[in-house]
Structure 1
Amino acid sequence: MAEDIRAKLGRYKTAPFDSRFPNQNQTRNCWQNYLDFQRCQRAMDARGADAAPCQWYFRVYTSLCPSSWVSSWDDARDEGTFPGKI
Structure 2
Amino acid sequence: ILDVETQKPPRGKWTTPPFDPRFPNQNQTRNCYQNFLDYHRCLKNTSRRGKSTEPCQYYFRVYRSLCPISWVQRWNEQIRQGTFPGKI
Provide TM-score, normalisation by structure 1: 0.86
Q: List aligned pairs for 1:57-72, cutoff 5 A.
A: 57-72=59-74
Among the aligned pairs, what percent are the same residue? 61
**Within 1, Cα distance between the matches of 2:55 and 2:69?**
22
1:3-25 superposed Cα distances (whole Å, 9 cap, x missing partner): xxxxxxx9751111000000000
2:53 and 2:16 map into 1 onto residues whose CA distance is 20
Q: Which runs of 4+ in 1 moved over 3 A?
A: none
Gaps of 5+ in 1: 1-9
RMSD: 1.3
TM-score, normalising length from structure 2? 0.84
1:47 aligns with 2:54: no
CA shift for structure 1 position 45: 0.6
> Which structure shows the higher helix fraction?
1
Query: Which sections of structure 2, spanning at least 5 residues, go unmatched?
Result: 1-11
